[in-house]
Amino acid sequence: MSIAISLRNCGKTWPGGARGLLPIDMEITAGETLVLLGPSGCGKTTLLRLIAGLELPDDGGTVLFDGKEVTRLPIERRNVGMVFQSYALFPNMDVAANIGYGLRVRGIPKNETQKRVAEMLEMMRLTDFRHRRIDALSGGQRQRVALARAIAPRPQVLLLDEPLSALDARLRDQLRQEIDALLRALGITAIYVTHDQSEAMALGDRICVMEAGRIAQIGSGRDLYHNPANEFVAHFIGDANKNVVINGEVILRPEDLRLRPNPNGAFIITRVTFLGPVLRVMVRHDDGQELRADVPDDPSLQPGTQVEVILRKSSLMAAER
C-alpha cells in the first residue's frame, strides 16, 4: 500500500526567527522515490521531518496523505517508516527485538510478529545475527536492521534521512543498490534525503534539488543534468564549467568538450590527470578563464600544449539566473 503526498504552502520558521524552509508546494505520487538533494542547511531534512510529522509547518501549511490532511497528526499516528542517519537502534534490545518493535507497539499478535520478523531477517540477510546485541554489529548491519525495523510494520511511506552517510564508500555503494532493489520491490512511496549526487541519481525517480530553504529544481536526474534550472543545480549535479568565452553565458559539462592540438589555439593545457575512463584536462584561455575537459585518453595532450576547444553539438545549456 503506497500513498501520494501533497505539501501545500509548507514553510518552517524556527523559534528565534531563522527560516528553515520557505513556503513550498510539492506533489509526490504514490510509489515514487523522491530524493531531496542539497548541501547541509538547505532545508532538506526539515522538509522530510515535516512530511514525517516530527515538525509542524508554519501556520497556513498543510500536509496531505492521499488527499487526507495529516498536518497535525504526530508521527506515531501517520504510519510512516523512518530510517535515521545515526541508525537510532534501541541498545536495550537485540536485532530481532528491534525489528519487531513497531509490530509489538501496534499490538500485532505474537505469532504474526514473529513471522514477519523472520521474513525481515531473511530479506536483510540478518538471520544469523537475530540474537546479537546492537553494539556487536557493523555499521552496514546496523543500517540494515534500521531499514528492517522501518519497513516491518508495512508503513505507507518510507522516509530515509541520509541513511548511508555514516558508512564507508564501498559499503555505501553496496547498500545503495540494496535499498534501490528494496524500494522497487516494495513499490512504496519513499523520500530519501542525501547530499550525495550519485546516491540521488541512483535512487531517485525524481530529484528535488534544494538551496537555502527553497526548491531549486525538481526533475529526473537526466533533466537536472542536461537542463539545470540555474548555476547552483548545474554545479550540484555533476561538474560544470560556467561563463565561458564560447557562446557567452552558457554552462558546459566537461565531457562535452573536445580538445585538438593547434599552435594557434586560444587555450593552453595547464594540467592533465589520467582518471582511467577519461583524461581530465585543465585548459586556460588567453584571458585567464579556466575550463575543465574530460576527453578520451590522448598522449598528445600534454601540459603546455596549445589547443583549440571544440564543443560537441547539443551540449549547450542555457543558464538562467
Partner 1 sequence: MRGGIGFWAGLCFTLLISAFLILPIFVSVIAGVTANQFIGISSGFTTRWLLDVWANYGGTVLLSLQIAFATLAITLMLGVPAAYVLARHAGVTARLIEEALVMPVAVPGLATALGLILAYGAVGGLRSSWFFILIGHVIFCLPFMLRAVLAVLLAIDLKRLEEAARACGATWAQRFFGVIVPNIRGGILAGSLMVVTLSLGEFNMTLLLHTPFTRTLPVGLADAYTALRTEMASAYTLIFFALIVPLLSGMQWVVSRMDQPGGSR
- Contacts with partner 1 by CB under 8 A lie at 52, 54, 74-77, 79-82, 84, 86, 88-94, 96-97, 101-102, 104-106, 131-133, 149-150, 153, 159
**What's the min distance (Å) between Cβ of 130 and partner 1?**
9
Cβ(53)–Cβ(73) below 8 Å: yes
**What's the min distance (Å) between Cβ of 295 and partner 1?**
47
**What's the min distance (Å) between Cβ of 106 and partner 1?**
5
Tell me which H or E stretch contains 203.
helix 197-203
3-state helix, strand, coil in the chain (%, to 5): 30, 30, 40
User: How far is residue 44's CA from residue 192's CA, in Å, rounded to a whole number?
Assistant: 9
Residue number, 133 or 271, with CB nearest to partner 1: 133
Residue number, 137 or 175, with CB nearest to partner 1: 137
Residue number, 105 or 318, with CB nearest to partner 1: 105
Q: What are the residues whose beta carbons fall under 8 Å from the beta carbon of 289, sequence distance 6 or more?
A: 243, 244, 245
b/e for 42-60, b at 16 or more Cβ within 10 A?
bbbbbbbbbbbbbbebbee
User: How far is residue 146's CA from residue 250's CA, in Å, rounded to a whole number?
Assistant: 44
- Straight-line distance from the first to the last Cα atom of the chain, in angstroms, rounded to the nearest whole number: 41
**What's the min distance (Å) between Cβ of 21 and partner 1?**
18
**What's the min distance (Å) between Cβ of 259 and partner 1?**
51
**What's the min distance (Å) between Cβ of 102 and partner 1?**
4
Helices (H) and strands (E) in the chain, counts: 8, 18
Residue number, 76 or 249, with CB nearest to partner 1: 76
User: How far is residue 211's CA from residue 42's CA, in Å, rounded to a whole number?
Assistant: 5
Residue number, 27 or 112, with CB nearest to partner 1: 112
Residue number, 130 or 284, with CB nearest to partner 1: 130
